[in-house]
Amino acid sequence: MKVVHYFNEKNRLAKLTDGDGSFLLTNKTGGYLWWGGETKSRYQGWFFTPAGLAGVKMFRLVESIEIENAPAVEEVRNNFWNCQQKRGELMETFFLPASSDVFSYEVSEKKNLSVVLDVKESFDNRNDSRSYEIFYESGLTLVKYTQPDLGVPEIWLAIKSDNRETELIKKWRLKEYSYDRKRSSPPFERHVFVALKLIGAQRIIFAVALNKEEAITQAAAGADNLKILKNKRQKEAKKLLPFFNEPSIGNPELKMAYLCAKNSLQGLLVCDSKKKKPEMLYAGLPWFFQSWQRDTALSLKALSYVKPAAAKTIFEKTLVSIIKGEKNDSAVDGWGWLFKRSENFSFRRKFLLAAIEEFFKNGRVSSPKSFFLHYPKSTWMDSIGRAPYCLEMQALLLNAYRLGALNYEFWRKKFFYRRQEKEGRRYFKEKLWDGEILADGLFDNQTPDKTVRPNIFLAALAYPKLLTRAEWQKCFENALGRLWLEWGGLATLDRQNSDFQSEHTGENAASYHQGDSWFFINNLAGLMMAATDKKTFLPYIEKIAKASAHDILWQGIIGHHSELSSAAELRSEGCLCQAWSSAFYLELLKKLY
């Protein structure tokens, strides 16, 4: 498979790869298109989110479009605003306009095209009681879909084509999904609906809505204004260029991956359907279409490189939610990471102090030692049990004290937070640092958990004052001896530990935080090593940057950074488009160049 990344004539890159070259487009309303030469997953196809339900509901619509007697895909092309597939002399072009629920498909010559539908909520795999009704109206083919307990009363799909003849097929077909089987994500097969065949067509415009009138309106607008919508998307993509040359990156792969990561990160932004303003940042696609405090906060600095106004809006919105006492029990460190990101934004100091006060009022800070107690399986390593006072949580607590001391003007408050920080730093360093290893946390009896994990890099980001620069260097060197993977990543568990898993186990979480190498941690580790001693750690940093670039450019979903890889070798696994993976890749390259 040939993969091409094309930004302009000066910035293009091509390579023959072993992968299947799938690609992903988003539309700012929460929908996405994940496509490839073959549909290998229940999460591939065209998906949409109804207005007001971003982060809550996601629906699959078009499973595939089949070209009669077409050869296999031999080339896939990422143009940053649209994507293309080449089948022999035939070229397919895929496009999602911004801020509308429309999907445009074009093929370079007239062909018979079969439209395969599979309307369902993303995680709903029921096969019964599904009803498709097909009508003709206003020069469109309309599909009405209903199903008990769908979450919405009905879904309408409008199809507008340039052909003159449409043949209704209306047949169910059993489809097998090899990718889902590979990652142990049942069911591995599903009945899909071959709805119709368009005879001698070159272009199809799809539009979706929860009522017939809106679907018709969107389809007509999409078809009539397609050229304008394309030009708008192209111009938006070109806005990446001024930032593209900001770091002086000589390596062409690192340079292109940097641009792709920016494009991917901004593509995970979801805007309010009415006001068109940034509302949230998805954690990832295809199945992490939620906004999580932790992932969002950690990604905000990098998001500010691409969309500074959006990053600030989301920062302030999340800060206000903390002031209001809105809890996020599944990620109790989200607050701490948001406080850390306050360093990257200008805002009224009183809001941060109000959020810090609310955090200490409703948080999990125990007395008298002031530990940050987390819920079971609520750290980012949520598939395993960790010591109840884990390392990065305590580092975030110390940073919250630091921010209180730094920002309060009233001397009693300033003195209180300064004392808490000073005493906490002394206590935690005494308990967690033995001069060689920084413990992963403390047990209830205050003994340290000496399991070697890469959470030291999160602690270094959260509160660098915990150790001196020389101590951090020794800490990193000793941990790398246990965690380093020669392809350019870090394992999530000491390779000598009996629980270490070298191969990714898919939806079975055995390997998730007991071996699997997470790209966000790899990039963060490179960032913290560069901040500590770039010269000493340069061989590690360069390998990390190159491995991440390879993942972004040539494997998984091209142009997007995956969640993780098996420890055994560099692969694209887990969620194939992950926000914080791209975010820390951007931070790493900013630091290096």
Q: Which residues pair with 86 in a beta bridge?
A: 75, 91
Residue 78 lies in a domain: yes
Residue 70 lies in a domain: yes
Q: Are residues 87 and 232 in the same domain?
A: yes
Q: Are residues 43 and 181 in the same domain?
A: yes
Q: Are residues 209 and 255 in the same domain?
A: no
Q: Are residues 259 and 206 in the same domain?
A: no
Specify the DSSP element, H or E, that contains 35: strand 32-35
354 Cβ neighbours under 8 A, 6+ residues apart: 323
pLDDT in tens, 95-111: 999 989 999 999 999 99
The closest of 132, 139, 109 to 61, measured between CA atoms, is 132
Averaged pLDDT of the chain: 93
The number of folded domains in the chain is 2
CA distance 324 to 510: 37
Residue 18 lies in a domain: yes
8 Å CB contact between 189 and 176: yes
The closest of 272, 271, 264 to 306, measured between CA atoms, is 264
Listed in sequence order, the DSSP H helices in 346-410 are: 349-362, 391-407
Q: Are residues 172 and 96 in the same domain?
A: yes
Q: Are residues 134 and 158 in the same domain?
A: yes
Q: Are residues 89 and 231 in the same domain?
A: yes
Domain termination site, one of 216, 238, 260: 238
Residue 318 lies in a domain: no
Q: Are residues 69 and 144 in the same domain?
A: yes
pLDDT in tens, 224-238: 999 999 999 999 998
pLDDT in tens, 95-151: 999 989 999 999 999 999 999 999 999 999 998 899 999 999 989 999 999 999 999
Task: Provide the 8-state DSSP code for 372.
Answer: B
Q: Are residues 178 and 257 in the same domain?
A: no
pLDDT value of position 329:
47
Residue 280 lies in a domain: no
CA distance 392 to 441: 8
CA distance 460 to 508: 30
Six-digit token string for 477: 């060197």
Mean pLDDT of all residues in 299-320: 94
Strands (E), 272-422: 278-281, 284-285, 389-390
pLDDT value of position 348:
81
pLDDT-above-70 percentage for the chain: 96
Rounded to two decimals, what is the model's pTM? 0.96
Residue 306 lies in a domain: no
pLDDT-above-90 percentage for the chain: 82
**Domain carrying residue 258:** 251-268+490-593
pLDDT in tens, 506-559: 999 999 999 999 999 999 999 999 999 999 999 999 999 999 999 999 999 999
Q: Are residues 146 and 82 in the same domain?
A: yes
Chain length of the chain: 593
Q: Are residues 256 and 169 in the same domain?
A: no
Residue 399 lies in a domain: no
Q: Are residues 168 and 257 in the same domain?
A: no
The closest of 473, 356, 472, 334 to 407, measured between CA atoms, is 356
CA angle centred on 437, ends 432 and 440, rounded to 5°: 55
Residue 359 lies in a domain: no
State the CATH number of the domain containing residue 156: 2.70.98
Mean pLDDT of all residues in 62-66: 98
pLDDT of 188 over the 90 cut: yes
8 Å CB contact between 456 and 391: yes
3-state secondary structure of 261: helix
